[in-house]
């Protein structure tokens, strides 16, 4: 996402915020909402990455506590010509991952314990490469800011509905106020969804190029999609505004590639990766069989005492 598109998005979300504020308190409410929105933008820029990581109970790991994972991220970051991001693990059984941070110099990659236990080394490399692609594309700032502001819009709209909106309105004005208080969060959600669908396809392609094996990521997406429907992510259910940050929708009941989907259809993403693999010339070995949770070495998460080899074999 370009900085211009980011600025347009933030302006649109801020406008929604001010519109709801106007309906709650008139011109004074709009000005208060503008001040709140400005503060929210500044907070999101500097602190939203830490807030999201804290929300999901992510803890940072290094070359000592998670050597294989840390080494993999470092090797893939070098291939992507990126600074080494911070690496986090979330104690969550659902296989999933996201990246966050305001720029590549202040970025983080977070994966769940379920992801490390469910995927092979090659598939995990595909997922990490996908998240590094978001960092390279500067998607992470956009993801965290939209999550913060969209959540704030929803809370403000709920506040307005509770207090009945601008008391000076009557007749169709009251109906319009109620409609806006319902439609404003919906509009913010649709902006998130549209951006998510676009950026996921771009990150899939870039991630496949970073790791050099499109089918590693395709295989990982298929597995994550299957597990995500079976294993709930309670933190994501409590904060649905952050769902678009994950590689696969962490919420229960994900739909297909339609207006209300937070992510593109996984089948469509896999098909795109298959086409990309054909363009690469094919001939790639299929990913290794999944490593079970019990096979991980006790020295650290995701095979901490395993073989000292890179993510490409």
The C-alpha atoms of residue 158 and residue 20 are separated, in whole angstroms, by: 10
Is there a domain that residue 138 lies in?
A: yes
The percent of residues in the chain predicted with pLDDT above 70, rounded, is 59
Q: How far, in Å, CA of 39 to CA of 44, rounded?
A: 8
Q: Say whether 131 is catalytic.
A: yes
* Annotated catalytic residue, options 122, 131, 200, 225: 131
Domain total in the chain: 1
Q: Which domain holds residue 7?
A: 3-282
Residue with tokens 């519109």: 19
Which whole number is the average pLDDT over 101-109? 92
Confirm whether 297 is domain-assigned: no
Please tell me what DSSP assigns to residue 63: T
127 contacts 109 by C-beta, under 8 angstroms = no
Bridge partners of residue 109, in order along the sequence: 87, 99
Whether residue 56 lies inside any domain: the answer is yes
pLDDT in tens, 52-72: 899 999 999 999 999 999 999
pLDDT score for 162: 56
303 within some domain:
no
pTM of the model: 0.75
* Six token digits for residue 146: 């939209």
Q: Quick one: DSSP state of residue 213?
A: -
Residue 310 forms part of a structural domain: no
Query: For residue 310, what pLDDT is reported?
Result: 41
pLDDT at 293: 36
3-state secondary structure of 309: coil
Whether residue 237 has pLDDT greater than 50 = yes
| Pairs from 37-43 (Cβ < 8 Å, separation ≥ 24) | 37/13, 37/149, 37/152, 38/14, 40/148, 40/149, 40/152, 41/10, 41/14, 41/145, 41/149, 43/148
Residue predicted with more confidence, 273 or 26: 273
Q: Which residue has the higher pLDDT, 224 or 177?
A: 224
Residue 164 lies in a domain: yes
Mean pLDDT over the full length of the chain: 77
Query: Residue 53: helix, strand or coil by DSSP?
Result: helix
292 falls within a domain:
no
- The two tokens of residue 120 are 């092979």
Residue 38 lies in a domain: yes
């Amino acid at each position: 996402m370009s900085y211009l598109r980011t600025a347009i998005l933030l302006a649109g979300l801020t406008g929604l915020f001010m519109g709801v504020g106007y309906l709650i308190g008139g011109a004074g409410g709009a000005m208060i909402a503008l001040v709140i929105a400005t503060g929210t933008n500044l907070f999101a820029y500097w602190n939203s990455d830490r807030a999201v990581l804290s929300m999901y109970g992510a803890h940072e790991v290094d070359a000592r506590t998670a050597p294989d994972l840390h080494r993999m991220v470092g090797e893939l970051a070098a291939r992507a010509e990126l600074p080494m991001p911070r690496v986090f693990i979330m104690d969550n059984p659902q296989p999933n991952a996201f990246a966050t941070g305001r720029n590549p110099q202040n970025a983080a990659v977070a994966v769940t314990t379920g992801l490390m236990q469910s995927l092979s080394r090659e598939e995990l490399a595909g997922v990490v490469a996908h998240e590094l692609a978001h960092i390279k594309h500067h998607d992470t700032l956009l993801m965290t800011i939209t999550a913060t502001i969209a959540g704030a819009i929803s809370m403000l709209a709920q506040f307005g509905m509770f207090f009945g909106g601008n008391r000076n309105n009557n007749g169709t004005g009251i109906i319009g106020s109620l409609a806006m208080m319902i439609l404003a969060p919906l509009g913010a959600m649709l902006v998130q969804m549209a951006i998510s669908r676009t950026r996921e396809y771009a990150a899939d392609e870039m991630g496949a190029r970073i790791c050099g094996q499109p089918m590693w990521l395709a295989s990982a997406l298929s597995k994550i999609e299957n597990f995500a429907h079976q294993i709930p992510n309670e933190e994501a259910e409590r904060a649905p505004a952050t769902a678009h940050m994950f590689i696969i929708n962490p919420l229960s009941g994900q739909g297909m590639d339609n207006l209300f989907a937070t992510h593109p259809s996984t089948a469509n993403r896999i098909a795109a990766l298959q086409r990309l693999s054909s363009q690469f010339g094919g001939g790639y070995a299929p990913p290794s069989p999944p490593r079970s949770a019990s096979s991980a070495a006790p020295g650290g998460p995701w095979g901490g005492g395993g073989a000292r080899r890179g993510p490409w074999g």
